[in-house]
Amino acid sequence: MKKTLLAAGVAIVVGGVAGTALAQVKPEVLVKQRQAVMTLQGKYFGPIAGMASGKVTPYNADVVSRSATYLENLAQMAWDGFHESTKGGKNTNALPEIWSQKAKFDELSQRLQTETAKLGEVARAKDEAGVKRQYAAVGKVCGACHESFRQKL
């Protein structure tokens, strides 16, 4: 229930107050903030992927649950940072396709939120088999978005 209310809140924000406020945030600050989100998504997806794939042992359901909840929250935080004003900026690997193929980008950003929410659910339920299925779905969206919209590193 709380999650649903939150999701509704996000939708309101995109079209409302935050839209206005964002116009005043400097592009370099927006870039720094969205990169911070990516850094932390990596921090918390790392242990989940490690344990779910068996590369990190033993599997710790408490660590997975906590990390997945953080990841679910983080997965909502980057998107308002991809403001038009940041297009072509320095110190970023974001490709201009983000804006020229906006619908595709938005769809992937939405999918990340959906898939991480599902991961959070199975992780908090301590459903290890569910986590082992769902972490791959999350990794797939990360990869798909980076493939199309991030400069090759």
Q: Which residues lie near its own copies (CB under 8 A)?
A: 2, 5-6, 8-10, 12-13, 16-18, 21, 32-33, 35-37, 39-40, 43, 47, 56, 58, 60, 62-63, 65-66, 69-70, 73-74, 76-77, 124
Side-chain-side CA neighbours of 18 within 13 Å: the count stands at: 13
Least gap, CB of 101 to its own copies (angstroms): 26
Q: Which residues of 94-106 are buried (b: 16+ CB within 10 A; e: fewer)?
A: bbeebbeeeeebe
Instruction: Report, in Å, the least distance between residue 64 CB and its own copies.
Output: 9
CB of 69 to its own copies, least distance (A): 6
Closer of 114 and 148 to its own copies (Cβ): 114
Could you give the CA distance from residue 75 to residue 109 in angstroms, rounded to a whole number?
8
Closer residue to its own copies (CB): 74 or 145: 74
For residues 145 and 105, what is the distance between their CA atoms, to the nearest angstrom?
7
Minimum distance between the CB of residue 114 and its own copies, rounded to whole angstroms?
17
* Contact in structure between 68 and 123 (CB atoms under 8 Å): yes
**Counting Cβ atoms within 10 Å, is residue 1 exposed (0-12), middle (13-18) or buried (19+)?**
exposed
* 22 vs 144, beta carbon nearer its own copies: 22
Taking the least distance from each CB to its own copies, the nearer of 36 and 144 is 36
Q: How many helices (H) and strands (E) does the chain have?
A: 7, 0
- Smallest gap, in angstroms, from Cβ of residue 8 to its own copies? 8
